[in-house]
């Protein structure tokens, strides 16, 4: 615990006002049920000693199909840690329907500002045969949800209270086994259907207390305590009670505090691995070149999702400005671009001063800012000099960055207005994609509708790790399965006899990234002169999108440019590349030899006519590549 209990006891004995701050801090830092109960006992003694708890007054009611004393103590304790001096009303065991409907009940007389309702999950069962189809079962689940929401409406109309409605924990036993997921009438499926109906139909004043999620996060069995249920009708295990209390406090806090608005980002070892000023663009870790690079990319992906739901992104980094902007402008694996950043501060000023400048520039309060950095010293400076800013010190492993930011819960919108907008966009995009896939009457129409763009580029220094990785892991669409190291890739780039290029593809649904690696070797000593396809591999994600034709066109263009009269291709069969066994014959290559190890083909370069495609292909100049 952050503060020893004996310190709190001494403060309590001396009636030191610091007791409340210490108690709140201890409560926030504690996750153990028994310790929270101990702190709850100290809170009650504090109320007797001081006359009242410290914090904003709040009337909270807990009602439901359970005994609620233990949960009530924990909720009151967590609310204290969140800054509330709560008066808590506890309903009688399994009397919540009566307490809501009776206008003169103690609940209605209490006039709560917030009410937590824990309905009976044990009564949420489908009464018909478990084999009934979805169309029969779903209306019953909707009716069950509608009854609950009707109670919420009645309570809200009488008291004006915000309602925290707990949804239903799923059964943790095997029971029907895997069949549970196929049977709409099973307890598991019926509760799922009911939870969905609750969430989708809940009005603005009803906030789902997601017990289903809490149990899944902790574990269904770890969330249950059957003995406690039979003995004292507890809602779940002690650990789940702690989770529930924390969730209630979070929801109550969210009702009164807006989520953070600005995410201020460090750069080096935060958005990418390495130091941009020392390592350069080619040396930083980002993207699919390594596990760490993937982790940084995943972190950026989550940050972009925050931007999409309205969070402003700012950069605050100790770097030269031009160097700091480089990856945003030039690195192909970066997801974040300069257009995503509303304020970019890369200099050698203290970060605390830069954050103040960002707040001034954006016209926003510092208390709406969250700063993330991997450097403890920088985080401490911000904590000390701009304490209103919430800071997050990232751990040593970038694989944990996303979870750290998610679990901070600082950007959760209450009414999901920004989230709704994002979901609408996603739904539209996904709907369009599905519509294209299912409704297209012919392939050319479908391909044209994708609005594809390909960028064909010679190998670049930035691409080397990715190219090497692809040559070492691509198995299916890979004619020769030649594995190469980064050093070997660099050597090929400098070889006058070789022509190496990549293809990146995007369409109106998004960017597919680097999807093709091709390497050709020019041989002008033979008759006829020839261009040998050393490597041709492609991501299967873009199969049959005419990327094959675009690649073939480029191979023949390079062959012609080099003065070659024919293009020679080889297929070397492996256990995994059968899908390209007929690739060259299908492109009118003639077989010249065949053995168990390889089949060789040729096609005239002088008579080759480029295949028209629905892809708009461009080639950046070498100066820009």
On the question of a cis peptide bond just before residue 144, with omega within 30 degrees of 0, the verdict is no
For tokens 């980094």, name the residue. 317
Give the per-residue pLDDT at 415.
Answer: 57
**Per-residue model confidence as pLDDT tens digits over 152-164:** 999 999 998 999 9
**Per-residue model confidence as pLDDT tens digits over 317-334:** 999 999 999 999 999 999
**Per-residue model confidence as pLDDT tens digits over 449-488:** 888 999 999 999 888 877 887 787 677 899 999 988 777 8
Do 285 and 334 form a contact (C-beta atoms < 8 A)?
A: no
Give the β-pairing of 498-507 and 206-209.
Answer: unpaired
Q: Is the dihedral of CA 73, 74, 77, 78 positive or negative?
A: negative
Residue 416, pLDDT > 80, answer: no
Residue 335: other Cβ atoms inside 10 A: 19
Tell me the average pLDDT across 51-61.
87
Going by C-alpha positions, the residue among 32, 69, 45, 246 that lies closest to residue 23 is 45
Give the per-residue pLDDT at 428.
Answer: 44
Of 356-370, 384-398, 515-529, least confident by mean pLDDT is: 356-370
**Per-residue model confidence as pLDDT tens digits over 29-48:** 888 999 999 999 999 998 88
> Which ranges constitute the DSSP H helices of 257-320?
276-283, 291-308
Give the β-pairing of 312-318 and 262-265.
Answer: parallel
Residue 355, pLDDT > 90, answer: yes
């Amino acid at each position: 615990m952050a503060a020893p209990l004996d310190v709190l006891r001494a403060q309590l004995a001396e009636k030191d006002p610091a007791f409340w701050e210490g108690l709140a801090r201890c409560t926030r830092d504690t996750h153990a049920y028994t310790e929270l109960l101990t702190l709850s006992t100290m809170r009650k003694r504090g109320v007797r000693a001081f006359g009242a708890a410290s914090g904003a007054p709040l009337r909270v009611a807990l009602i439901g199909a359970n005994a609620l004393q233990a949960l009530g103590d924990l909720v009151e304790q967590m609310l204290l840690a969140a800054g509330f001096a709560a008066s808590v009303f506890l309903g009688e065991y399994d009397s919540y329907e009566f307490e809501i409907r009776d206008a003169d009940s103690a609940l209605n007389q209490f006039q709560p500002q917030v009410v937590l309702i824990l309905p009976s999950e044990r009564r949420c069962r489908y009464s018909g045969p478990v084999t009934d189809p979805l169309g029969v079962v779903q209306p019953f689940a909707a009716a069950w949800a509608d009854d609950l929401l009707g109670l919420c409406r009645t309570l809200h109309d009488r008291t004006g209270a915000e309602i925290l409605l707990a949804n239903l924990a799923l059964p943790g036993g095997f029971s029907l086994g895997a069949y549970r997921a196929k049977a709409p009438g099973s307890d598991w499926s019926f509760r799922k259907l009911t939870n969905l109906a609750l969430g989708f139909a809940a009005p603005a004043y009803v906030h789902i207390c997601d017990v289903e999620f809490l149990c899944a996060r902790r574990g269904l069995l770890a969330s249950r305590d059957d003995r406690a249920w039979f003995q004292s009708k507890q809602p779940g295990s002690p650990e789940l009670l702690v989770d529930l209390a924390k969730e209630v406090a979070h929801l109550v806090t969210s009702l009164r505090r807006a989520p953070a608005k600005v995410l201020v980002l460090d750069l080096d070892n935060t958005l990418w691995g390495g130091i941009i000023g020392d390592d350069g663009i080619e040396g930083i870790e980002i993207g699919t070149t390594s596990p760490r690079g993937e982790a940084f990319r995943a972190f950026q992906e989550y940050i972009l999702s925050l931007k999409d739901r309205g969070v402003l992104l700012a950069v605050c980094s100790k770097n030269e400005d031009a160097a700091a902007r480089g990856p945003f402008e030039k690195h192909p694996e970066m997801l974040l671009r300069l257009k995503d950043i509303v304020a970019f501060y890369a200099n050698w000023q203290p970060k605390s001063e830069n954050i103040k400048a960002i707040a001034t520039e954006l016209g926003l309060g510092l208390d709406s800012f969250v700063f993330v950095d991997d450097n403890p010293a920088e985080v401490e400076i911000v904590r000390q000099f701009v304490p209103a800013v919430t800071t997050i010190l990232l751990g040593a492993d970038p694989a944990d960055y996303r979870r750290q930011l998610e679990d901070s819960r600082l950007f959760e919108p209450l009414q999901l207005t920004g989230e709704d907008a994002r979901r609408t966009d996603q739904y539209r995009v996904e709907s369009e994609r599905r519509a294209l896939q299912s409704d297209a009457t012919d392939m050319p129409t479908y391909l044209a509708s994708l609005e594809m763009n390909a960028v064909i580029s010679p190998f670049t220094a930035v691409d080397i790790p990715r190219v090497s990785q692809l040559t070492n892991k691509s198995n299916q669409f890979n004619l020769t399965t030649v594995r190469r190291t980064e050093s070997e890739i660099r050597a090929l780039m400098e070889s006058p006899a070789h022509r190496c290029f990549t293809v990146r593809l995007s369409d109106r649904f998004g960017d597919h990234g680097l999807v093709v690696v091709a390497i050709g070797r020019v041989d002008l000593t033979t008759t006829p002169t020839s261009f040998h396809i050393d490597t041709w591999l492609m991501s299967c994600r873009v199969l049959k999108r005419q990327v094959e034709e675009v690649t073939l066109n480029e191979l023949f263009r390079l062959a012609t440019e080099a003065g070659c009269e024919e293009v020679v291709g080889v297929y070397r069969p492996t256990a995994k590349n059968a899908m390209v066994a007929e690739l060259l014959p299908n492109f009118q290559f003639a077989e010249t030899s065949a053995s168990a190890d390889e089949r060789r083909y040729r096609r005239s370069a002088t008579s080759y006519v480029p295949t028209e495609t629905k892809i708009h292909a461009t080639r950046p100049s070498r100066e820009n590549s």
